[in-house]
Amino acid sequence: YHILSGRKLAQSIREKANDEIQAIKLKHPNFKPTLKIIQVGARPDSSTYVRMKLKASKDSNVDCIIEKLPAEITEVELLKKISDINDDDSIHGLLIQLPLPRHLDETTITNAVDFKKDVDGFHRYNAGELAKKGGKPYFIPCTPYGCMKLLEEAHVKLDGKNAVVLGRSSIVGNPIASLLKNANATVTVCHSHTRNIAEVVSQADIVIAACGIPQYVKSDWIKEGAVVIDVGINYVPDISKKSGQKLVGDVDFDSVKEKTSYITPVPGGVGPMTVAMLVSNVLLAAKRQFVESEKLPVIKPLPLHLESPVPSDIDISRAQSPKHIKQVAEELGIHSHELELYGHYKAKISPNIFKRLESRENGKYVLVAGITPTPLGEGKSTTTMGLVQALSAHLGKPSIANVRQPSLGPTLGVKGGAAGGGYAQVIPMDEFNLHLTGDIHAISAANNLLAAAIDTRMFHEATQKNDSTFYKRLVPRKKGIRKFTPSMQRRLKRLDIEKEDPDALTPEEVKRFARLNINPDTITIRRVVDINDRMLRQITIGEAATEKGFTRTTGFDITVASELMAILALSKSLHEMKERIGRMVIGADYDNKPVTVEDIGCTGALTALLRDAIKPNLMQTLEGTPVMVHAGPFANISIGASSVIADLMALKLVGSEKNPLNDKNIHEPGYVVTEAGFDFAMGGERFFDIKCRSSGLVPDAVVLVATVRALKSHGGAPNVKPGQSLPKEYTEENIDFVAKGVSNLVKQIENIKTFGIPVVVAINRFETDSQAEIEVIKKAALNAGASHAVTSNHWMEGGKGAVELAHAVVDATKEPKNFNFLYDVNSSIEDKLTSIVQKMYGGAKIEVSPEAQKKIDTYKKQGFGNLPICIAKTQYSLSHDPSLKGVPRGFTFPIRDVRASIGAGYLYALAAEIQTIPGLSTYAGYMAVEVDDDGEIEGLF
Amino acid sequence: YHILSGRKLAQSIREKANDEIQAIKLKHPNFKPTLKIIQVGARPDSSTYVRMKLKASKDSNVDCIIEKLPAEITEVELLKKISDINDDDSIHGLLIQLPLPRHLDETTITNAVDFKKDVDGFHRYNAGELAKKGGKPYFIPCTPYGCMKLLEEAHVKLDGKNAVVLGRSSIVGNPIASLLKNANATVTVCHSHTRNIAEVVSQADIVIAACGIPQYVKSDWIKEGAVVIDVGINYVPDISKKSGQKLVGDVDFDSVKEKTSYITPVPGGVGPMTVAMLVSNVLLAAKRQFVESEKLPVIKPLPLHLESPVPSDIDISRAQSPKHIKQVAEELGIHSHELELYGHYKAKISPNIFKRLESRENGKYVLVAGITPTPLGEGKSTTTMGLVQALSAHLGKPSIANVRQPSLGPTLGVKGGAAGGGYAQVIPMDEFNLHLTGDIHAISAANNLLAAAIDTRMFHEATQKNDSTFYKRLVPRKKGIRKFTPSMQRRLKRLDIEKEDPDALTPEEVKRFARLNINPDTITIRRVVDINDRMLRQITIGEAATEKGFTRTTGFDITVASELMAILALSKSLHEMKERIGRMVIGADYDNKPVTVEDIGCTGALTALLRDAIKPNLMQTLEGTPVMVHAGPFANISIGASSVIADLMALKLVGSEKNPLNDKNIHEPGYVVTEAGFDFAMGGERFFDIKCRSSGLVPDAVVLVATVRALKSHGGAPNVKPGQSLPKEYTEENIDFVAKGVSNLVKQIENIKTFGIPVVVAINRFETDSQAEIEVIKKAALNAGASHAVTSNHWMEGGKGAVELAHAVVDATKEPKNFNFLYDVNSSIEDKLTSIVQKMYGGAKIEVSPEAQKKIDTYKKQGFGNLPICIAKTQYSLSHDPSLKGVPRGFTFPIRDVRASIGAGYLYALAAEIQTIPGLSTYAGYMAVEVDDDGEIEGLF
């Protein structure tokens, strides 16, 4: 007979595990397989097992953390602990040391462990898969796994052999029976009720003793040459031993060994193997998590049943049944605790994901811009959706579309939906277009709190002439103590008043600290509402008697025009958003010194109101591919692009890990496609000069969307008016208008070239476009330096219609790029304006009004001269004059006014008075809306 | 040998199932066990099996629906179908007919079926539990279950017997082996690799043949008297048969039968049993769902680690780790598809739940009101939380607290949190007090859309003098067609213009239809913001040049004061909310005819914006017991109570099914505890006369909250001012003030008695209260007719401190009640006002100002005289004069003005000008707020 030493085999298994870990650590230093053991209560035997497991792990360089919990812990508290560990990516294996105190239900607790971390293999997922023929359990329970390794070590051929298992526990008997059966042995399971146990065992080629009865299996039971694996761990009295007891197995070792070919000793047999297999299960879990983290997202497309003629947007949206958003997130590799669901089809993603994805390379970054549009829009959003639907639902490449949240104003006013159209949309359409997750509402609340705080502070300072009574009210005694708030302490530091105790300030210090002396005429912050309410454009406030005549003229903007929205769009983190909010200038005091949100003491409250808004929102396209919807700043007085934080997050999600040895991406990375409002000369230029300056990102390609319709209008065809039917020049072939109109396309291509980024021209095809017209556009585009010029039919065919565009984009993003900003931020405000007008718009020079010049000088004096700048003008011409189509040259660009968004970090110049809150038209979108009793919304889109 | 006929046994099993269903149907007519079978593709053999299953179900009165799906269906579409069926309560069993087309993964699909509907027993949950010793699978797979029934039928004792199973499939071999092992047989599993199969089988007392080889088991293999169960279904050629083939089992029946004691025939053996056990599994599922639906919620409490002194509210809130909201919902018996998660700790509940819970009796309905308060509040919310924490976390009785959503105004203004305090709170505190799920924001958007629509319509009618051009713009031609919107059609009907085609209206009809002629001075709708912005109390709008001088004086209210909030609080459904919105009167035209929201054409859009807001929000208390947070109408000019729909829903969730035979509740029902703002005379009276009139509900008991502090102030102690330390009279024993002050408590008890509802007085204990003072209050309360008077210490001890109160409430709700409203709605407005002033406030008579009288007469003329009415007055006295403490008598109550909320369905009279938007104090709550980089909010609460 041969002694089958578990100790030796266990040793080699642990060493092999250790070597493997060192090897991986070479390439990935932070690879650290970690096991957590929860021990509830302090049973001595459990403590010994736990210590054994701790020691074995340490030996093989596997981290092992023991969490001892009091025996009286409640089930709900223990379940909470387990769910936190399930969500902790640093823990790969979790084991609940059994048995548990009686008040805790073993099945509930063991099944609460994430079956992907269930290194004990007791979870019903793993037990169920183990029992199934061809099942795929994540882990095999340690002791049975150890037994199989021992059999393997003894080169025992199991196929066709008779195996008898004594014992049917879930920890050993049942699982080892399944393993042997799946290894094609003929297995018999004996147990306490088995009658002729000796006779049954006598036919066994392999005997597994796991019945928990000391030295139960006798030698006459054993067939000559059988293999005996003894799992028993029994303490029997032995006065010869110091401890008064010795450890024996379930087999009468001394007598049985003679008849066996192989037999495991106790101790030193299965015991050490159990612990060794635990260590290898933990390593297996860590390696799996590692491979998982390197995997590129696998997006399963939703099938699209195309109809023609193309039904209405809402009918298409309703005909599709979207994936539950959990599935969209899972496919992107987002863990459940990084996701906050908002209903079934929307969710917010937590910025903690950045820590986990830190080591990832970014994916490819694609910007979709447009030529100078007509009032009907040229389909940038549908092209963005069509492109990602093509990339992910047809070319199997992971991609995410990052778009802006639409304002309720236009949705209920004129436009209806803003989520693409036809077979290229975000769904469900109504959830996208109404409240989404409340980000715009949160900005309204934060902005209006600030406005109220400013006016009320001026009112209090005006009505409380006496400094000390005002100061007593400003820093009141509460429950007997008077204390400065943190924001007051920061203000004291700024004023170099190094005092903690409010009562210690001198009258001069009280005056300097308490009085903000805001000059009402300099206040730049206006209240906001997300509704097209023209009557609030200019109002007089404070007319009630209680306001004692302190009236003031001000007005409301549409919420998406507020500086807070721009800050939400440009901040890379919650921390940066808080800083930008604090820096917002709300006006000046009577010495013309800027007054900030921090001075008012509002930074914390505004940040608290926007705490959830900074988390990007996840939705999906019609073909089930992921979309991020975050921030929606106005396109004329602000940057008109979705958020930096969503782009940073999406680029990591579709990005690829780098192989540290050759520094090359392990996989071909995925694509993030985002948009810039209006045309490239406006939205595109700001995207580069403001958004990229803040994000540090640079697009790999620009898709320039053009339509025959817009090019004809640039070529001299009659004006296009929304709501009225198109003049016939647009619906019949007319090469001449197109040939003249392409000048605008060529100019926009040149504009993109100035930034050194490859261009793909996407002709958003309409049924009425003729092939000849398309060819003219393609030729002009390629001549002007576009890498590709393709037509795209996504409105009619979804992703299928944009496959050619997708291929073109994939190529273009491989081309080299030499990016540079249009201007140096440190040049003068006038020079910056001039370079935009000359290089982007084709104008000759700028002409600054006296009022604008005064503003420019103030900003320079206040140290805000080195900020990037955007120009608010009409989007219907490259120039400031909407009637100048095509490519106007040599015009003088008027600068009427210059305003500052210091928190958002840019100035904006106005070519003409810009409406910052639209009005409702005589017939407005809201009039057609109906809701049935199941909450289905008709008539809005 | 005996033939073990499956056909006969199957027949009896099906009949037994049929009888059982009829029996249950007697008591519960809509009990209808239903099986759904999904067949993908049309394989002939699958179709036969499906037909067999259909027939068997029909025979035993089990409904069976076959859903045939095209073979080329995609996995994602099939998974969506399965998840819809999982969510469909009318389907009890779901079965996927195997095999599936190759492109569909069998493991993924079978495991997508809800394991509680997996009547095939193939889900890994059920397979895992079956394999475990003492496991609890929801279903046993049909064929193995059939075999066990056959063995049972043959009275085969399995204990200790040798059983040999040929075959190890997941459908038969593996599960039957587990069943036999768990029945204490010694089981051997043979398979294709087994060598000496004849020898192994020869030792078997029981042979299960499931290897799929026709007539494989020979007679010489069989031990004399063995029991043979033949599972085989093989078609072998047989020219004698018309079909050219015959059905044989895996056993060579003719030879083997002689050696057996029992043997099953093929066909007619296991086959019919499989189908019979399927039917009984479906019945089992239906019975389980039925028992589940009758179960009262089982709420597992979160343990509370009390500290003293009591830490700050936010520290207590943060020290507790809340349950995930899914668990709170599950414990209430809410199904996952009836729940829309908003993050981890909030969710909305869908009103479809009403259909499922229709047959339930309501639980007990408890109102928490207060005596006339001091500015510090008397702890109604903490008492509400303490009471439900006591009921559910300490007395094991299911209970839900229904409270109002707090307005951001006070939260950021003066008050900080509004979610109870100390160890009786709603958690997480910041999610409760900031945006919650955006309901108040949705009301702001809806209200401000309406206001913009009204002003813009007046502007358009004023600036477009020519009727026909205005009409052309109002009903524009789009893509060549001109049509009326649904709301325009409804308006035409109201004007008796029976025309479909917009071009067919006569000029007179055009004028009548298009012109609303709203009189700007009569507009009652004001814009709203949820911020304490005093400067917006009275403003002049329309001052921008674009508004051509059409200015108007108006103002903003705080959002919770808007009529839409009252409508949200009073509507029983989405449908009723839509109707109430349509009925809202926004002003009058120049003929003084009321103009409604429906006339403006906004009903649909407002309803769409509030579609999610009507769904009640679910959170939890500090001890993990459920809380519903829904609607938050202002307490002075509105009803100051949470929503009707939340109360209706909560009463069903904690309600009990009725036993139709004896009409008595099966279980003792649970409790719903809700609050009325301010004191009983104000909030309580409106709760009965307005909220109960709309909900049709009547409370079973009123908890009247009193504090020694408030009673002392009614007894003449010096006034209490917020923010300043309490005068010493309040912190030292002073029986005299208490003895005098209890008059207010007695009056409020009498007020409750007038409504005929039992009263429990809850003395919200403070450390400074002396036992003697408590005794005085208790004696007075009991003398005045309170059923119980107890102290409650929930602020310090959570639920533990309110156990006595909970017992008192449980008793009180068993007492008889004879409820009546305070006044008949059809009596005159003056009489209604008089009965409130006399019976509730103790005043002598009312004195109506001329302006108020004019309003009353208009409302009477417009047919709004028969609405209930609430009085807006100070809450610091029973009278209109805040200085009159205790129980002032004989005063004349001034009615300065009367306004109407026709949509919400009540009038409100003003004793004095009421601020409908508070201001920010010199030191305001927002100033202390800070947010760290993990988003933790400090300083707000």
Active-site hit among A114, A118, A120, A897: A120
Question: How far does the CA of residue B116 sit from the closest CA of chain A (Å)?
Answer: 15
Closest CA to A657 of A28, A108, A2: A28
* Tokens (6 digits) for B419: 């979610």
Among A136, A480, A535, select the one facing B455 at the smallest CB separation: A535
**A552–B537 C-beta distance less than 8 A:** no
Q: What is the pLDDT of residue B673?
A: 98
Q: Is B927 close to A441, i.e. CB distance below 8 A?
A: no
pLDDT band for position A723 (cuts 50, 70, 90): low
Is the CB of B237 inside 8 Å of chain A's CB atoms?
no
**Beta-strand runs (E) in B191-237:** 206-209, 226-230, 234-237
pLDDT digits (tens, 9 = 90+) for A162-203: 999 999 999 999 999 999 999 999 999 999 999 999 999 999
Length of chain A: 941
Which of A162-166, A749-753, A802-806, B655-659 is predicted with the least confidence, judged by mean pLDDT? B655-659
Which of B36, B39, B53, B620 is catalytic? The answer is B53
DSSP-assigned letter for residue A589: B
For residue B478, what is the nearest residue in chain A, using CA coordinates?
A723
CA distance linking residue A441 with residue A447, whole number of Å? 10
- Nearest chain B residue to A927 by CA distance is B601
User: Which of B631, B587, B575 is closest to B442 using CA atoms?
Assistant: B631
| Band of pLDDT at residue A635, cut at 50, 70 and 90 | confident
Distance CA B539, CA B555 (A): 5
Q: What are phi and psi of B300, to 5 degrees?
A: -90, 120
Q: What percent of chain A has pLDDT over 90?
A: 85
Query: What is the reported pLDDT for B416?
Result: 63
CA distances from A648 to A388, A533, A642, A702 (A): 17, 35, 11, 18
Nearest partner of B681 among B698, B704, B661, B697, judged by Cα:
B704
- Are A543 and B541 an interchain contact pair (Cβ–Cβ within 8 Å)? no
Confidence of residue A652 (pLDDT cuts 50, 70, 90): very high
Catalytic residue among B118, B120, B250, B769: B120
Measured distance CA(A448)–CA(B801) in Å, rounded: 41
The torsion angle over the Cα atoms of residues A680, A682, A687 and A688, rounded to 10 degrees, is 80
What is the residue whose two structure tokens read 């910007």? A367
Cβ atoms of A881 and A893 closer than 8 Å: no
DSSP B511-531: HHHH---B-GGG----EEESS
Distance from CA of A632 to the nearest CA of B (A): 17
pLDDT of A661? 64
Q: State the average pLDDT for chain A.
A: 94
Tokens standing for residue A818: 């030499």
pLDDT-based confidence at residue A415 (cuts at 50, 70, 90): low
The SS3 assignment for B933 reads coil
* 3-class SS letters over A617-679: EEEEECCCCEEEECCCCCCCCCCCECCHHHHHHHHHHCCCEECCCCCCECCCCCEEEEEECCC
For the question of residue B663 being annotated catalytic, the response is no
Q: What is the pTM of this model?
A: 0.94
> Which chain A residues contact residue B77 at CB under 8 A?
302-303, 321
Q: How far is B274 from chain A (nearest CA, A)?
A: 20
Q: Is the pLDDT of residue A253 over 90?
A: yes
- Tell me whether residue B53 is one of the annotated catalytic residues: yes
Q: Rounded mean pLDDT of A358-370?
A: 94
CB contact under 8 A, B535 and A459: yes
Q: Is the Cβ pair A174, B449 closer than 8 Å?
A: no
Closest CA to B745 of B779, B719, B769: B779
Helices in B213-370 by DSSP H: which ranges?
A: 253-256, 270-294, 313-319, 325-331, 353-356
Both tokens assigned to A364: 């490819």
Is A921 in CB contact (< 8 Å) with chain B? yes
Q: 């059988």: which residue's tokens?
A: A226
Query: A463: how many CB neighbours lie within 10 A of its CB?
Result: 12
CA distances from residue A831 to A416, A828, A834, A866, B910 in whole angstroms, order as listed: 40, 5, 5, 11, 62
Which single residue is written with the structure tokens 């590692």? A290
- pLDDT value at position A122? 92
Q: CA A598 → CA A484, A595, A780, A904, A905, distances in Å?
A: 14, 8, 53, 15, 16
pLDDT for the residue numbered B480: 80
| Nearest chain B alpha carbon to A324 | B80
State the pLDDT at residue A292: 85
* Chain A environment of B919 (Cβ under 8 Å): 456, 546
Q: Is A806 helix (H, G, I), strand (E, B) or coil?
A: helix
A83: which chain B residues are within 8 Å (Cβ-Cβ)?
324
- Cα A557 from Cα B235, distance rounded (Å): 79
Interface test with A, best of B914, B926, B938 (most A CBs within 10 A): B926
What's the number of CA atoms in the CB half-sphere (13 Å) around residue B273?
A: 29
E strand or H helix at B778, and its extent?
helix B771-783
pLDDT along chain B (941 residues), means of 10: 92 94 89 96 91 90 95 92 94 95 94 96 92 90 96 94 95 95 96 94 96 94 95 91 90 94 94 94 94 88 92 90 95 95 97 91 96 89 97 97 95 77 93 96 98 97 95 89 93 94 95 96 96 96 95 96 97 97 96 94 96 98 98 91 98 86 78 96 96 97 96 90 80 93 96 97 93 96 97 96 98 96 96 97 96 95 94 94 92 95 95 89 91 89 74
Rounded to a whole number of angstroms, the distance from the CA of B722 to the nearest CA of chain A is 10
- Is residue A338 predicted with pLDDT exceeding 80? yes
CA-nearest of A562, A536, A561 to B452 is A536
* Tokens linked to A932: 């049935």
A181 interface with B at CB cutoff 8 Å: yes
A27-53 residue pLDDT tens: 888 899 999 999 999 998 899 889 989
Q: Which residues in chain B are contacts of A624 at CB distance < 8 A?
A: 76
Tell me the pLDDT band of A314, cut-offs 50, 70 and 90. confident
Q: Find out whether A69 and A103 touch, Cβ atoms under 8 Å.
A: no
Number of H helices, E strands in chain A: 34, 38
B740 is catalytic: no
